Amino acid sequence: MKLYYAGPLFSLSELNFNKQLTLKIRTLGYDVFLPQEQSFNLENYDSVKAKNNAIFELDRKEMLSSDIFLFVLDGRIPDEGACVALGIMQAYKSMQNQSVQLIGLHTDRRVAFSDTALNPMIDSSLDMVFKSEEELINYLSK
């Protein structure tokens, strides 16, 4: 099964977390697409816009060919790029592929809303949200 991994990837701690969680998921036999593992050197493109378009197209292709979309929701607010990816996947699921699973991992105790941990647009787009790595790994093991 193929899993697309969406989440923040801009700080050293985020990059390291993504690597270690991806390793655990791959150990279960999943083919994981982790965007941070891709290399896009600006010198290979005519402009920053062309590079950004190439990143978007690769990510979209990988998302739409996945069986599972995992959104790591940790951080003060969910990563905006991953939010766009979730929107793409929610539309794809509702129009094309009901079997794709949209799942989240939210271990961060900080919440944006007083009555719910996640924005309702994000929460309602996900099939389920796990509160710990252990819960997520147990689910993916089955």
CA distances from 90 to 49, 65, 84, 135 (A): 26, 14, 10, 23
Return d(Cα 68, Cα 96) in angstroms, integer. 14
CATH value of 2-135 in 3.40.430.10, 3.40.50.450, 3.40.50.2300, 3.40.1080.10: 3.40.50.450
Q: What pLDDT was estimated at residue 113?
A: 62
Q: What pLDDT was estimated at residue 115?
A: 67
Q: What pLDDT was estimated at residue 42?
A: 85
106-116 pLDDT, tens digit per residue, is: 998 876 666 67
Nearest to 135 by CA among 32, 36, 24: 24
**Backbone conformation region of residue 70, classed left if phi is above 0, alpha if psi is from -120 to 50, else beta:** beta
Nearest to 8 by CA among 105, 92, 124: 105
Break the chain into its structural domains and give their ranges. 2-135
Report residue 21's pLDDT band, with 50, 70 and 90 as the boundaries: very high
Percent of the chain clearing pLDDT 70 (strictly above) = 96
The distance of Cα 29 from the centroid of its chain, to the nearest Å, equals: 18
66-81 pLDDT, tens digit per residue, is: 999 999 999 888 999 9
Q: What pLDDT was estimated at residue 110?
A: 75
The full DSSP string for 75-111 is SSS--HHHHHHHHHHHHHHHHT-TT-EEEEE------
Return d(Cα 97, Cα 79) in angstroms, integer. 24
**Backbone conformation region of residue 105, classed left if phi is above 0, alpha if psi is from -120 to 50, else beta:** beta
